[in-house]
Structure 1
Amino acid sequence: FFSICVNSRKKDIADGVHVIEGEGGDFVDAFLVQMKKEQNSDAPSTFDEKWLEMSLLDLWAAGQETTMVTLNWAFSYLLLHPQVIKLVIRSIMVASITLTCSMLRASNAFLFAYLFFQSLLFKEVHRCATIVPMNLWRDTSEDTVVGQYLIPKGTAITAQISAIMNDDQYFKNNCNFNPDRYFNGDRIEQMVVAFGLGKRACPGESLAQAELYLVGLFIYLFTPLVISYVP
């Protein structure tokens, strides 16, 4: 599949249908630009079409599998906690009515306050599911001292994300699914590091967070309204 995609892009470039400007408009463009540069030099390079196809496979697999599993966990937790579903519906309905009603002109801060619950809900899903319990492995580039421990150069290290997000010091009753825990003002949501931290954090975090809002959309669209009176 990825070979077909790459060949199709190369054909479009050759036919003038697709024009690369600068470094290109996407990952494939940028890779092809760099591949051409390195082909013109005598230095050994890993920039070839096979490597491009494998890179696309990695991006697709990482984004597809993790998103699917996270969505499954989100729906599972919500099915077990119907009271949370009611809060999600209420927050979406208030924001939706405010946006569509011409008599209500709410500020962005007002709308954010109602959608803020959804963001905290997703934080709790990430924390409880912990679909990637450990971060990527890295090597220390030099001797490093952490606390009382000397970590020699070349040591393979990683961060155990699950331990951070289940630390009872920050998350009381950490085995319980409870989005309300983030309303106590302690800013413990900063301890939910499902995507890692710093420059080497997961590059797909913004896409994954956007896709999680599908959970709220599904709940809103497919939850029947109960009418308590006869029309």
Structure 2
Amino acid sequence: MKKNLSSPLFTTFNMFFVLFITSILVYLGYELYWKRRNFPPGPCPLPVFGNLLSLNKPPPGYEAFERWTKQFGDVYTFWIGNKPYIMINTFDKIKETFVRDADTYVNKNIPLSSVLFRGGEHGVIDSNGATWRDHRRFAISNLRDFGLGKNLMQEKILIEVQEIFKRFDASEGPEVEIPPAFDNAVANVINQILFGYRFIGAKQDEFLELKRILLTPTRLFGNLIIFLAMNVSLIEKILPDSVYKKPFIDFRETTFEFFNKQIENHEREVDFDDLDSENSDYVEAYLKEQRKRELQGDTETFSDVQLVNMCIDLWFAGLGTTTNTTTWAISFLLHNLKVQEKIHEELDRVIGSDRLITTADKNDLPYMNAFINESQRCTNLVPLNTQHATTRDTVINGYKIPKGTGVVAQISTVMNDEKTFPDHKTFNPDRFIDENGKLKKIDELIPFSTGKRQCLGEGLARMELFLFIANFFNRYEVKNIRKLISPSKEGPPSLEKDSVSRIEPRMFSAVLKKRR
């Protein structure tokens, strides 16, 4: 019996089938060609996800960015979900855009997750416009007032250097855990700047509580599902609030409760009768500025919620950058023990005693500086740099880029560039030493990014890195556990980078032998 091909049912089925196939083709045509046609060429994005999944193959995506730079050149388009981001991948092009035309790229694309855990667009990391400009300027000004770049700040850091010595010297057993000592030292420096006191005695529990709180975003951002939801609107919408929104809101409530308590306690100590007197810390300076503005009728610019978020920003920027780089530097050295021999040779020749090394010694220690530079380059903390947004229509490589388009100064690719850093996967401080044995300046080393959103704590971080690392190696020789104890013990710390959003330090132990 023959089928009736002209029956209404069969005709309807054909019609829906044709419409379905046509819709799929139109959708794919839009995704794979139409939406990309006016942007620089780049890797083909997947529908919904864009190119995000490439960041996890292999983790955390450095090789993908390097491969695309070789394939598409210094500028290409990378899709985060359904949003295009223009990736700037060479130092010269970054200078042309983020430095010479800095105002065009000063804004940041602020995700919903940041608004959730901050209570709005606050702080300086996740704000734009007047809020970002005024509070960044205020923070930098007060950091200078508190001694940044002066002996006062150096003295505070050297106190922590000596505390590290006491902790390591008093340790029992052949090996010691390295990261916690630096964690505590860096935290003390930050808290002195913010609240004017160190985490010692009864205050030590306060630091442990704060550290537990601050680790929450690391766990959230490192979770692939959360990371995708932060960047893909469809996933963000379909995930239950208990899975996506609630963790960020819980973090906000816990963090605000902690800092509000600290701020309230500190507020009782501030002399508001003399608003122009010298300030001892950032929070005191902020509270006085807040009171001045309130007297002038401005109750919004310096708000309570902004102060909490500035505390969060200064903690995130100060603790993460310095502690991570310091502990990764020691990790790299444990894989390259001949580097330590060169460090000790220079220290013995230039310093030659157990005195504390200061910034006055910096120019006389080129290899130490080269070691720190190479540690920063290889640590390369952020696989995908800050996602900026253009403040106006602009042109990049001949392509018209509309206002609000995402643009990224991809510093991780710059610091892995084979032309500037041959054999870039090899840890080699000598690449920063010239033929005369002097420190060689390489402009492409930009671990603190560049442009108007360059890390505001860069000066402090550089001072801490030099004083902590130089003094540590002047006092100790570091050895791997496995070679000294038994093959069953752990070896040097892993150098695997497995976060999709930010590189974190490993907890590791080593054997320290006092040199002086």
With over 3 angstroms needed to count, the CA separation of the structure-2 counterparts of 1:157 and 1:125, relative to structure 1, is same
Q: Residues 143 and 153 of structure 1 are in contact (CA less than 8 Å); yes or no, is this contact kept in structure 2?
A: yes
Q: CA shift at 1:184, angstroms? A: 4.0
The equivalent residue for 2:328 is: 73
Matched, 1:45 2:296: no
Matched with 2:266 is 9
**Residue 58, structure 1, aligned to residue 335, structure 2:** no
Encode CA deviations 1:114-147: one digit per residue, 9 max, x unaligned: 4121111111111111112333222212221122
TM-superposed CA distance for 1:112, in Å, is 4.9
Matches for 1:20-169 after TM superposition, within 5 Å: 20-21=275-276, 24=279, 26-40=281-295, 45-97=300-352, 112=362, 114-169=364-419
Change (3 A) 1:41 1:156: farther
Structure 1 length as normaliser, TM-score? 0.79
The Cα of 1:167 is off from its aligned counterpart by: 0.8
- 1:219 counterpart = 2:219: no
Q: Which runs of 5+ in 1 are unaligned?
A: 101-107, 227-231
Give the SS at the match of 2:452. helix
Q: Which deviates more from structure 2 when the two are superposed, residues 35-44 or residues 203-212? A: 35-44
The structure-2 alpha-carbon separation of the partners of 1:99 and 1:79, relative to structure 1 and needing over 3 Å to count, comes to closer
Between the two structures, name the one with larger relative contact order (CA 8 Å, sep ≥ 6). Answer: 2
Determine whether 1:180 maps to 2:430: yes
Mapped partners of 2:444, 2:474: distance in 1: 29
| Aligned-partner SS, 1:157 | strand
CA distance in 2, matches of 1:15, 1:21: 9
Q: Which residue of 1 aligns with 2:447?
A: 194
Correspondence for 2:170:
none
Amino acid corresponding to residue 11 of structure 1 in structure 2:
R
The SS at the match of 2:365 is helix
Task: Give the aligned residue type for 1:77.
Answer: F
Residues 6-36 of structure 1, C-alpha deviations (whole Å, 9 max, x = no match): 22332112487xx542684543233223322
**Deviation of 1:46 (Å):** 4.9
Aligned with 2:395: secondary structure?
Answer: strand
2-structure distance, mates of 1:195, 1:205: 6
Closer, same or farther in 2 for the Cα pair 1:128/1:149, shift >3 Å?
same
Deviation at 1:164, TM superposition (A): 0.6
CA distance in 2, matches of 1:56, 1:8: 15
**Residue in 1 that maps onto 2:116:** none
Query: Equivalents in 1 of 2:364, 2:341: separation in Å?
Result: 13
Assess, with a 3 A threshold, how the Cα gap between structure 1 residues 15 and 51 changes in structure 2: closer, same or farther: closer
The answer to whether the 8 Å contact 2:325/2:379 transfers is yes
Q: SS at 1:145's partner residue?
A: strand
Partners of 1:199 and 1:152 lie apart in 2 by: 20
Q: What percentage of residue pairs aligned between the two structures are identical?
A: 31
Find the counterpart in structure 2 of residue 208 from structure 1.
461
2:449 match: secondary structure: coil
One-letter amino acid of the counterpart of residue 469, structure 2: V
Match of 1:119, SS state, is helix
TM-score, scaled to structure 2 = 0.38
Deviates most, 39-48 or 198-207: 39-48
Gaps of 5+ in 2: 1-257, 478-512
Distance, in Å, in 1 between the alignment partners of 2:367 and 2:345 is 10
Secondary structure, in 3 states, of the residue corresponding to 1:158?
A: strand
Larger radius of gyration: 2
Answer with 27-36 or 41-50: which moved more. Answer: 41-50
> Paired residue for 1:229?
none
Kindly indicate whether the alpha-carbon contact (under 8 Å) linking 1:170 and 1:188 is maintained by their aligned counterparts in 2.
no
Task: State the distance in 2 between where 1:20 and 1:137 align.
Answer: 38
CA RMSD of the aligned region, Å? 2.9
Contact 1:67 1:208 survives alignment (8 Å): yes
